[in-house]
Amino acid sequence: MYNWFAVDNVYDNGNDASLCTNGWHVSTTEDWRNLINFLGDNAGGKLKATSDLWDEPNEGATNESGFTGLPGGLSGGWADEYQYSAIGSKGFFWSSDGNRYMLRNVQTNVHESSMNSAHYYNYGCSVRCVKDVGCSDPGACNY
């Protein structure tokens, strides 16, 4: 789990401090939207692991994409920055530009929410790194 300050910390005293190793980047909103559009119907189900780590029902889960999204929940929030919630029922993922993407055990879509308050900077979410690739067809990059 990473809060926004860790996700957004590209440089630390002039040194690369990215969460992702060289040649990779934290997924962007564009990466997420392209992936969701590419997967089409049941995108959320195609991203979710078929694991018993998900609470029942793990609606529409096929992991057809190979993403293997897990229900890591969320850390932080209104009451306690060390409190964890929704483990087993939701997986939250940061994008590098501040949006969060949520997979749910009872839905087959992917929910996008933008950060509308500095308070959300404290939430801990999972992060997916995407490989940097040279690509002549932007619609096919990173899949």
Q: What is the DSSP string of 41-52?
A: TTHHHHHB---T
What does the pLDDT read at residue 85?
A: 86
Q: Which residue has the higher pLDDT, 98 or 116?
A: 98
What does the pLDDT read at residue 5?
A: 80
Evaluate if residue 55 carries a pLDDT over 60. Answer: yes
What does the pLDDT read at residue 47?
A: 94
Phi/psi of residue 47, each to 5°?
-95, -20
List pLDDT tens digits, range 72-86. Answer: 998 886 556 678 888
What does the pLDDT read at residue 136?
A: 55
Evaluate if residue 12 carries a pLDDT over 70. Answer: no
